[in-house]
Structures are given as structure tokens and as C-alpha cells.
Structure 1
């Protein structure tokens, strides 16, 4: 999906954004959209090689990268120090990093995998927000910072086979509301909740049966990373200056039609 006509090249001018889990897919699309609207971006992910390739695709001077594990406190500290040194401050935090290492009914779920899901998808999001908030040199609160969390429609309705993932996304939605209540008026916190988006992360949900899966959507197609990026750009900008604690469902009408996530 081509969103070039919807891009406001100056809407985020002078802003700095951090996007976690951004070497590909939704995270990379978000970073590119924010950069296209004038922001400087720092992208993170676990593997350095694809992350470096992703950063190299941005115009000179607009993107930096720091590789590491999202659940590693040392990595988070390094990211904040790097942003402070390179860009001087932080205005936008997009918590996109997430995992789903387990599949199957909850009654038979491996609890080690479940704990890892909570650690990365919920506590990791909180930890990134804490790191940005408490790093004095970044001035996140003083700059009226914005947090956007990437949740999922699986956090709103049960989803066969990925129930624990959905539980962590439900927690993330409530975390969004709670942080919004606690951090206002200095920081706004919102979330997006996509249905199936055509990425490598979600390919098992549609690969080889895309037409069949898309038939459940009133808009008759699956989402694209650019669909999500546009919504995040709205939350990151002053166009949403009176919006906090909200979760925007991006599902092509799936839930309205009674579909399953």
C-alpha cells in the first residue's frame, strides 16, 4: 500500500523518535514513516546485520541504530545514551518489539515460554518507557513526549492457538491506559491494535491461504505495515494532541463483522 500522498513532510520536523523492533516489518515501516514526516529516528533490534541494512536505507543523518536484546537493561541504557549523544533528546517512543514463541491451548502451555512473553511484550514495554522517562539528558517529559505501543486485536478477543500472546497484548492495552493516567499532562500514551498484517512475523497466519483469510475482512484485504505506520504517525504528532490512553483498532473491519482475530 502506497501512502506517499498522505505523508506530511514537516509534521514531525525537529522531533526525535525511538522505534524498538524495527529492522523489518511494522517497526521499520513506522520508522520510515516518521522519518518521512521530518523526524530523526533511532531503530533497535536484536540482530545487528539486518538492523544496519535497515538504517542504511534512510537519508544521511536521519537514522541511527543500536542492536541488542529488548529485555536487556544494559541495551536499553545504551540506546538512551546513544540518542542523547547523537540527537540531544527524545520526543517519541514507539514500543514495537514483541515475540510469540509459544502456540497452542493455554491448558497445555509451557510456562517458561509464557513468562518470556510477559517479560518482553509487557514488562519490556514498561521498561523502555521507564528508561526514556528517567534519563534526564533526554528531557522526555519536558519535551511533552509521546509513547505509542503496538498491541494487537488478539488483546481484545480470544484467538485460537495464540492465547498467551493475546493475554500479553491485553495487558499492554491496560498498561497504555494506566500510563496515560499517570503520566499526563506531560506525556501522552496511546496504542494501536492491528489484526493480521502481512509481515514475516505473522506469515504463519496467512501464508498459502491469504485470499481465504482476507475474505473475513470487510475491506477484503490484510493489513500492510504502512497501514500501521500511518496510524502511529498520527499518534506521534500534534494532530492527536488531545488524545491519550486510547487504543486504535486497525483491522479492516474484522471485529465489526464478528470475525476472529
Structure 2
């Protein structure tokens, strides 16, 4: 199997992409000429994102270059529908970016409600596995492709008060290497571990104190969705054709200070 080339009619499915990091990934893929299906829970926000991405898509093709499928990431029926509609619209799914995630709790693991822990794990990890399985069966098993899972530096080291989220992202890194081993040689699987990125999802970690939060980063700023979008676009391209099973830390140098 040959690895897909970016652009030239390639197609991608990006989960949790109505805003934030997922939108940044979709934006980077659309800009280089890929066709993209995005998912999200809020139908109105998803529709707006599809319109913005479509308006920015290069070329004048009459065929849609961006579609959206609303639903909850952990819902197996939604996973199947998203993959089915992507195949119907584009005839292929070369790339999968698993970005959908949740972090509904802030506090100590010792006090964590186990029902909430299960919800976090279901949304952040099991949904990624489900989308990978569906994409594998629909296209990538026979035709090859690439997958990127969005993890977090919270999965690599203790992070105060977001332990449940960190546990799930550590599992995401392990899911990545397991899938990379099992899906080779036709499908490459990598993950990205961002530090704090300026999104609504992460607002509680920096809002009202951005300058203070950014002071801990050697590069002097927090991340933006485009930072992760660019990294994902690289991993979902022929430039990364010999890269699989890796976790790319994109953290503005934060870990440099942690090890100092």
C-alpha cells in the first residue's frame, strides 16, 4: 500500500472540529486542498464552521469540499454515520484526526466521581478507538492512510486538578502506539501532545491571567489552534511517510523548564 499524498482529492475526517484545535486542524487540511468532514455536538456551531471552511477552500469545484456531521463522539451510531457520510461525499477517508474530548471536572482524583471518570474516558479514548475502527473498515485497511490522535502534556506528567483528563490522555498516547503497531505498514498512527492552547475548552487554565500563564513558556506565549493544525497537517502528509507510533509534544518549550 502506498501512503496518501496531501491534496489532490484526499479526504479527512476530523472529530470535535466546530471550533478550537479541531477547527485548526480542519482549516490546515482544507487550505492545502484536502476535502474534510468535521464533527461536533452543536449543530448550529458545526454548520457555521462548515460555511467558514468552505469559503476558505481553494479551487472552484462544484462538489462540496467540507461537510459536517453533528453528534456525540462517544455514540457508536454517530461514529458509523460520520464515516458513512464521509465515504458517500468523498469516496475515501485517507486521514483521521481524533480531537473530540471533554474535561467536565476540576479537582483531586481522590474526590473524583467515578461516573464522571467513566464519561471522560469514554469520550476521550473509547471514541477515538471507535472512529479508528470505523475508518479502518471503511477505507484504510485496504487503501492505507494516516491517523492523528490529540493527546496532551497532561498525559505525560502530573497536572494539578485535571487528573481525570490526564489519565485519559495518557491512555490516548498508548492507544496510538498500539494502533501504530497493529495497522502498519499501510496506516501510520501518531499523536500530538499540546500544552495550553487558547481555546474555549482550555479557557479556565488561562482566562484573566494569560500573561502570567504564558510566562512559564520559553517561547513566551500560549499555543493557538493553528500551531496544532500545522503539526497535524504534517503528520497527515507524505512528508511524515516514515513517522509512526510517535507522540509529538507541541508545548512552546514548557517541558524545557520542567526539566531545568
| Structure 1 residue 230: Cα displacement | 0.3
Equivalent positions of 1:36-75 (< 5 A) are 36-59=31-54, 61-75=64-78
Contact 1:13 1:37 in 2 (8 A): no
Equivalent positions of 1:137-152 (< 5 A) are 139-152=139-152
Contact 1:102 1:110 in 2 (8 A): no
Distance across 2 between alignment mates of 1:13 and 1:227: 24
Q: Secondary structure at the match of 1:222?
A: coil
Aligned with residue 13 of structure 1, among 8, 11, 14:
8
Partner in structure 2 of residue 98 of structure 1: 101
Equivalent positions of 1:1-261 (< 5 A) are 11-59=6-54, 61-135=64-138, 139-258=139-258
Q: Which runs of 5+ in 1 are unaligned?
A: 1-9
1:203-230 superposed Cα distances (whole Å, 9 cap, x missing partner) = 0000010000100000010000000000
| Structure 1 residue 164: Cα displacement | 1.0
Q: Secondary structure at the match of 2:154?
A: helix
1:81-140 superposed Cα distances (whole Å, 9 cap, x missing partner) = 1111111111000000000011111111111100001111111110110011122xxx22
Q: Secondary structure at the match of 2:234?
A: helix
Contact 2:6 2:236 in 1 (8 A): no
Q: Which runs of 5+ in 2 are unaligned?
A: 56-63
Q: Secondary structure at the match of 1:140?
A: helix
Distance across 1 between alignment mates of 2:102 and 2:95: 22
Distance across 1 between alignment mates of 2:54 and 2:252: 32
- The two structures have a TM-score, normalised by structure 2, of 0.93
Distance across 2 between alignment mates of 1:82 and 1:76: 10
Distance across 2 between alignment mates of 1:58 and 1:28: 9
1:38-78 superposed Cα distances (whole Å, 9 cap, x missing partner) = 10000000110000010011236210011011111111111
Aligned residue-pair number:
247
Distance across 2 between alignment mates of 1:134 and 1:147: 14
- The two structures have a TM-score, normalised by structure 1, of 0.92
C-alpha RMSD of the superposition? 1.2
